[in-house]
Structure 1
Amino acid sequence: MDVRTQFFTYGEDAESRLLLHDGSDFGPVTLAYETFGTLNPEKDNAVLVYHALSGSQHLAGTNPAVPGVGDRWDVSCRTGWWDDFVGPGKAVDTDKFYVICANYLGGCYGSTGPSSINPENGKPYGGDFPQIALADIVDSQLPLYDELGITTFHAAIGSSLGGMLALNFAARYPERVKRVIPVATGLASTTLTRVHNLEQILAIENDPNFCDGHYYDGPPPLRGLALARMISHKTFVSLHHMEARMTDRCEQEQDEFSWYKIRTPLESYILHQGRKFLRRFDANTYLQLLSAWTGFNLVRDMGCTDYREVFADCGHQEYLLFSIDSDCCFYPEEQELLRDELRGAGLKVDYVSVSSDKGHDSFLLEPELYTEPIKRMLEKENRRATPGSVLCAQAGLS
């Protein structure tokens, strides 16, 4: 399945600019997006997918290049990040559904972000790009849905950071979605998440090449970005999976250390994870998304007193939650809290506990553990779970 990125631009005049959470407005905004399947005449078979932290609009199939992205669209980007899940006959069946995924505002894969040219001065925005919230990312995509004529989505799906966006969309615009499928996510950033994110932010900001975000005409903050990715990577994969992927090689670049010498495969592996990220991502975008993630809190963001009030208008929605038992990025307790708060608000919720040794990244690697519940939810054939029940998904079973 060969696909190409499409682009939608708005906000070129004062009336259509994007209103941000801080009360300022911003524009123009270009969104890079891809679609899969066919939108039916009733326009009621659309499924919205939000990508994870370092993902892109390229959900499935093969896309060899994205205009304006250049070398950042490397070989690791060309196959869709959810290719095993989206397509004919797959979990999200493109023979039945019209699927859309957009790169986020602040992104680096074709949507307007810090590396985009500021029309006011002809230079990249860099550190002058507004500091965005997850709600801004959600709001920035609404004009695209209107342009496509999609009033209400059949479902919204999001994994990890994308799950928080799906929850934000469902709570703030309840009339625009019927089914919500959050995968390995939570209702708010936890204390541990905020600590990890601050470590990553400081790693980038303390790189001497960062220059307050204005580094596009000079050397980029590669060492800071690599360190940030190393800090985060240990939360994305389980230790067992990390050990299984290590090789026997021990290597380091000359400028990485002056005194310490790499001497174990584990050290070499984690350095490799940091290095390869540099080829495909932008440090300013990483900062923007980390900051937005850190600040996510639905109760506060919506000016509510509790989650019952947050989901008060969502009674028509159905939820399918996935939790991964080895996840140490979004621990299972976060999904259990989400389940309990949704049920406390009177909503219909199915809860799937995935048993995996691959950690948080299971949602990218093991379609067999997710496909059947997703298909049941999307195709209205799932049996409703009674309060307190748990559906289990193990290797080869669901």
Structure 2
Amino acid sequence: MNDTVTSRDSSVGIVEKKYYSFAEPPDTLTLESGAHLGPVTIAYETYGTLNEQKDNCILLTHAFSGDSHAAGFYASDRDGDKPGWWDFLVGPGKGIDTDRYFVICPNILGSCMGSTGPSSINPETDKPYGLDFPMMTIGDMVVTQKALIDHLGITRLLAVIGGSVGGMQVLEWCVRFPQMVRAAVPIATTMRHSALAIAFNEIARQSIMADPNWAQGNYYGGQKPDMGLSVARMVGHVTYLSDEALRRKFGRKLQDKEHFSFGFGGDFQVESYLRHQGSKFVSRFDANSVLYITKAADYFDVVDKMSKPAPIAGAEEQNKIKYLVVSYSSDWLYPTYQAKELVQTLKRCGQNVSFCEIEADCGHDAFLIPDQRFTTLIRGFLDGIS
């Protein structure tokens, strides 16, 4: 694995978060649940330049707790140590080359990173939505992204690329708007959650809702359910790693001591690490957003939709999507067998699909770690369609 160092010299440089608002009442957005939502704001970032034909656009879809900041640096990051989450992959001359492509990364509906979500102000009450925010789905997220793409005057995407919950959005794009997608790269994802994945999400949700400060979701302006959210993040974070990654990094090493304390203060380095991860998450993410986004991921199911035959002749042939499905050998949250099920489903339908399992011992989060093999794979795939 190549631990490429990210620097301003090789990045897209200073970037700015932008916002698009739509669905102003009475023309509200109708969600899959039948509920109505409006107005809706989607935060997004763009990198590179849209060409005159508007046919060089790549849409990036982020994982559940991610955001629109996929590459570059904000002007406020003066120390230069906070690049976008895919900065090693997106930029001039990189796997997703911003000298060639116009890249868009929107923040998902239901999040707390600029897009409309439970912490947003409900125009009917002038207070945060809390649990009055309607339940949304991965499909609803994609519909809002489609509204943004339409707003930008783009009629077809060169590629949609994303990992984990972002990979679910990729697949949803392919079944909802296949005529708009030329190529798709779902990474470390699944066509629907297994019972195991739903179980871990439910533990995370219950830890939040069991916190007395959760207050049925009405904690804004008061004490937040920090302990519940921290535990939820610890649970989730373990699923993103692997046994080998934890063994290599921590083993049974003690934290700042030579002997057991015979108490509950935290003897092991791995305990300290998880508490740190939980504390960091509390400072940047909203507990209610975790509830809504994890539930949307659990509801996601495109098995039947992906099973529809692809167009095989005539004018519709040009709408056939080219797929690259990527999995990681140590991912036990969305294991390779689920990626292979997706590949088999697509092949049975006559779709153009390639598959690659990358050997890596980092677990589910491997797609967020610099790896020259992954970069080369993405670059080569894009070269084949552009």
TM-score (norm 1): 0.86
Change (3 A) 1:76 1:12: farther
Matched AA of 2:239: T
96, 100, 120: which one aligns with 1:96: 100
Q: 1:376 aligns with which of 377, 380, 384?
A: 380
Letter in 2 for 1:364: L
| Structure 2 counterpart of 1:239 | 243
2:61 aligned partner: 50
- Aligned match of 1:389: none
**Matches of residues 153-302 of structure 1 in structure 2 within 5 Å?**
153-246=157-250, 248-249=254-255, 260-299=264-303
Q: 1:162 to 1:311 in 2, by over 3 A?
A: farther
Cα deviation code 1:336-359 (max 9, x no counterpart): 101111111101111111001111
Q: Give the Cα separation in 2 of the matches to 1:243 and 1:226.
A: 22
| SS of aligned partner of 1:112 | coil
1:324 aligned to 312, 318, 328, which one? Answer: 328
Give the match for residue 13 of structure 1: 25
SS for the counterpart of 2:213 is coil
Distance 1:351 1:45 in 2: 23
Please list the CA deviations of residues 53-89 of structure 1 after superposition, one character each: whole Å capped at 9, or x if unmatched: 1110000010256xxxxxxx9x999420000000001
- Checking the alignment, whether the CA contact within 8 Å between 1:250 and 1:267 is kept in structure 2 is no
Tell me whether 1:61 sits opposite 2:72 in the alignment: yes
Distance in structure 2 (CA, Å) of the matches to 1:172 and 1:110:
25
- Over 3 Å counting, the alpha-carbon distance change for 1:221 and 1:94 in structure 2 is same
Summarize deviations over 1:113-164 as a string: whole Å, max 9, x none. 1111111221111121111111110111222111101111000001011000
Q: By how many angstroms is 1:311 displaced?
A: 5.7
Contact kept, 8 Å, 1:298 with 1:310, in 2: the verdict is no
2 CA distance for matches of 1:129 and 1:250? 44
Partner of 1:347: 351
Cα 1:45–1:10 shift into 2, 3 Å: same
Distance in 1 between residues matched to 2:268 and 2:151, nearest whole Å? 53
Q: May I ask how many residue pairs the two structures share in their alignment?
A: 362
Q: Take 2:278 and 2:207, find their aligned partners in 1: how far apart are those partners?
A: 12
Task: Give, in angstroms, the shift of residue 176 of structure 1.
Answer: 0.7
User: Deviation per CA, 1:325-376, whole angstroms, max 9, x where unpaired?
Assistant: 0111111111010111111110111111100111111101133121122112
Kindly state the Cα deviation for residue 275 of structure 1 after the two structures are TM-superposed.
Answer: 1.6
- The partner residue of 1:138 within 126, 135, 142 is 142
Aligned to 2:36: 25
CA distance in 2, matches of 1:179, 1:142: 16
CA distance in 2, matches of 1:64, 1:292: 33
Q: What one-letter code is carried by the residue in structure 1 that aligns with 2:284?
A: R
Residue range with higher mean Cα deviation, 119-128 or 242-251: 242-251
Report the AA paired with residue 168 of structure 1: E
Structure 1 residue matching 2:326: 3-state secondary structure? strand
| Counterpart residue identity of residue 325, structure 1 | S
Q: Give a deviation string over 1:173-223, Cα, whole Å, max 9, x none.
A: 100110000111011111110111111111111110001111011110011
Aligned amino acid, residue 56 of structure 1:
D
Amino acid at match of 2:379: K
- CA contact 1:64–1:78 (8 Å) conserved in 2: no
Deviation larger for 267-276 or 239-248: 239-248
Aligned partner of 2:45 in structure 1 is 34
Which residue number in structure 2 is paired with residue 309 of structure 1? 308
SS at match of 1:362: helix
RMSD after superposition? 2.2
The amino acid of 1:122's aligned partner reads D
Q: TM-score, normalised by structure 2?
A: 0.89
Counting only pairs closer than 5 Å after superposition, residues 72-83 of structure 1 correspond to structure 2 as 78-83=82-87
Task: Report SS of the residue matched to 1:242.
Answer: helix
- How many angstroms does 1:22 deviate by? 1.2
**Which residue of 334, 338, 342 corresponds with 1:338?**
342
Percentage of pairs with the same residue: 39
Give the gaps of 5 or more residues in structure 2: 1-12, 258-262
The Cα of 1:292 is off from its aligned counterpart by: 0.3
Contact 2:310–2:320 (CA<8 Å) still a contact in 1? no
Partner secondary structure for residue 132 of structure 1: coil
**Could you tell me which amino acid in structure 1 is paired with residue 23 of structure 2?**
G
